[in-house]
Structure 1
Amino acid sequence: MDNIKLTAKDILEKEFKSGIKGYKQEDVDKYLDLIIKDYEVFQQVIEDLRQENLRLRRQLEDTSKKQPIPQSGTTNFDILKRLSNLEKHVFGSKLFD
């Protein structure tokens, strides 16, 4: 977020010099209020996305740590045997009914 130049607070505290034929201060204030509200929403969305990103990265790390790394010598027979054991464990006696 280093490339963001303004914050909602910067916009709120900005003061403009008035000229002879300047803008209506009330119109400028209304518009700046609208911009401030948008900035606050944007910052909340960014923070929510950062938190979700962090949560998903942690979840990915946890999942990758839990998954067994297949051995390079694993054969189809080994895989089928593991699958059969898994089916027996999950379905138990229902598998053979």
Structure 2
Amino acid sequence: MDLIIQDYEKYIKETQRLQMENDRLLSKVDELTKQLAVSKTGNTTRPAASTTNMDILKRLSNLERHVFGAQVNNDEGNRF
């Protein structure tokens, strides 16, 4: 019975940790979205139609690196 309680406590702690991580990542996405919106409005010399697929892929890559970078590093250390 004590083992079940310990497992439940670990489950609660992990759920709380994941919720905090999720909140942090959502905040980061919001921040980066705002930065992107500001940079788009401040950059009037380059029309939106000239955005290429490469530009989009670079932005997506940067966003993924910012959002998932810490998570990928943590997952690699916890594999074994």
- TM-score (structure 1 length as normaliser): 0.40
